[in-house]
Chains A and B, each alone.
Chain A
Amino acid sequence: SAVISQKPSRDICQRGTSLTIQCQVDSQVTMMFWYRQQPGQSLTLIATANQGSEATYESGFVIDKFPISRPNLTFSTLTVSNMSPEDSSIYLCSVDQGLGVAQYFGPGTRLLVL
């Protein structure tokens, strides 16, 4: 499976600021996904990031709040904008290597908003 890294691994931010999370994969992948895992909860899909096109957002998530870039087949960023304490969560990227195989997750970014 692909090796996935995320930066930063954790951060503490002030409300009203923005944080950009990077996801790097060691091989080219078709699809990349961004998930959120709030404290004590399961994973919720934020958006699907396609190379060369705009991201597709799930219900309840909007581009102004969570802008996503996918400049090539090995890299994506998720920005959490105008943060509030409710955005405190773990943000995870995952990749699908095509052919219908399962998704693999990066190590996650732990975000605390004060």
Chain B
Amino acid sequence: QKEVEQNSGPLSVPEGAIASLNCTYSDRGSQSFFWYRQYSGKSPELIMFIYSNGDKEDGRFTAQLNKASQYVSLLIRDSQPSDSATYLCAVNLNSGGGADGLTFGKGTHLIIQP
């Protein structure tokens, strides 16, 4: 059974600091990994996806993947109060031309303190 684990938080980070969000997954066959941000009362919004081991950077966000350890993380640099939200980690068994439903973690509630 596919499982995705996240610390539910809340994770409190001072404004301007780096927020580090972590996620582990159970299925070694997982191929693609996603981070979504969800504000209260809103639908999930894609932040980043990563397929290969290592780091992937996009602006203030960096996703890190370690398939051997079955671990994926999201770093948010120069955290802003607007980054306060629930961050959902999601995993997909397929990559490339395939498509499959996503398995989500329960999410980490991030609070950026002004």
Interface residues of A (CB under 8 A from B): 1, 30-31, 33, 35, 41-45, 48, 58, 90, 92, 94, 96, 98-108
Contacts and interface: CB of A to CB of B under 8 A. Distances in A.
Given A42-B104, A42-B105, A43-B88, A106 B43 contact: yes
Contacts of A92: 43-44
B49 interface: yes
Nearest to A58: B101
B49 A107 contact: no
B17 interface: no
B43 A100 contact: no
A45 B102 contact: yes
Contacts of B107: 42
A41 B49 CA distance: 22
Interface residues of B, number: 26
Contacts of B104: 42-44
Nearest to B106: A42
Interface stretch (B53-61, B67-75, B76-84, B89-97): B89-97
Contacts of A33: 101-102
A103 B36 CA distance: 10
A41 B94 CA distance: 24
A96 B46 CA distance: 12
Contact of B46 (A35, A58, A104, A107): A104
Nearest to B94: A100
B43 A107 contact: yes
Given A43-B44, A92-B43, A103 B102 contact: yes
A105 B42 CA distance: 10
A30 B100 CA distance: 11
Contacts of A98: 97, 99
A100 B99 contact: yes
Given A42-B88, A106-B43, A99 B97 contact: yes
Nearest to B86: A42
B62 interface: no
